[in-house]
């Protein structure tokens, strides 16, 4: 299994240690040509969920994990892959020291659109901070529009 490119709340090393305890952090990098966006979720009243979509002018900060086989099913379950919320895809990640590497990530099986909650955006920004994302990336997360509550 290639590396796992974690974005959104899975950037939080504590969360990854809980959902994939045998899978060490390998590196950080960028999904070049992809954009962090939100979709689905609003029907449940929880706000839209994070996903990535292709966008030539954008990039998404990711943490790369070397996922052990015995953590794979647990991580898929954590992301709702076992019930069809997210699907795995292969992506290319640009790292500072290793150049371009192949990884897999989860994408939302729903439409793009809708707003996340303020609480969810703050979770994503805090996770990005913990993973070492640049300040401008974290500030962008915190300044995004969210569901009015």
Q: What is the pLDDT of residues 57-82, one digit of tens each?
A: 999 999 999 999 889 888 888 777 67
Annotated binding site for substrate: 120
Q: Look up 112 and say whether it is catalytic.
A: no
pTM: 0.92
Q: How far is CA 125 from the centre of its chain?
A: 11
The pLDDT assigned to 45 comes to 57
Closest among 137, 134, 110, 130 to 48, alpha carbons compared: 110
Which domains does the chain show, CATH number per domain? Answer: 3-133 (3.10.490.10)
> If residue 119 lies in a helix (H) or strand (E), which one and from where to where?
helix 118-131
Confidence of residue 148 (pLDDT cuts 50, 70, 90): confident
Q: Which of 79, 112, 122, 147 is an active site residue? A: 79
- What is the three-class DSSP state of 30? strand
Residues in Cβ contact with 116 at an 8 Å cutoff, skipping those fewer than 6 apart: 38, 41, 47, 48, 49, 50, 124, 144, 146, 147
84 dihedral zone (left: phi>0; alpha: psi -120 to 50; beta): left
């Amino acid at each position: 299994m290639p590396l796992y490119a974690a974005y959104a709340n899975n950037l939080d090393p504590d969360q990854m240690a809980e959902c994939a305890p045998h899978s060490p952090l390998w590196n950080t990098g960028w999904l070049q040509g992809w954009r962090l966006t939100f979709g689905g979720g609003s029907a449940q009243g929880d706000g839209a969920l994070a996903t990535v979509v292709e966008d030539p002018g954008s990039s998404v900060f990711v943490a790369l994990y070397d996922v052990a086989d015995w953590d794979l099913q647990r991580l898929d379950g954590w992301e709702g892959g076992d019930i069809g919320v997210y699907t795995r895809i292969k992506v290319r990640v640009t790292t500072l020291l290793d150049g371009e590497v192949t990884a897999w990530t989860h994408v939302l099986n729903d439409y793009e659109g809708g707003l996340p909650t303020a609480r969810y955006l703050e979770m994503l920004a805090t996770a990005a901070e913990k993973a070492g994302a640049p300040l401008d990336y974290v500030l962008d997360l915190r300044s995004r529009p969210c569901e009015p509550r």
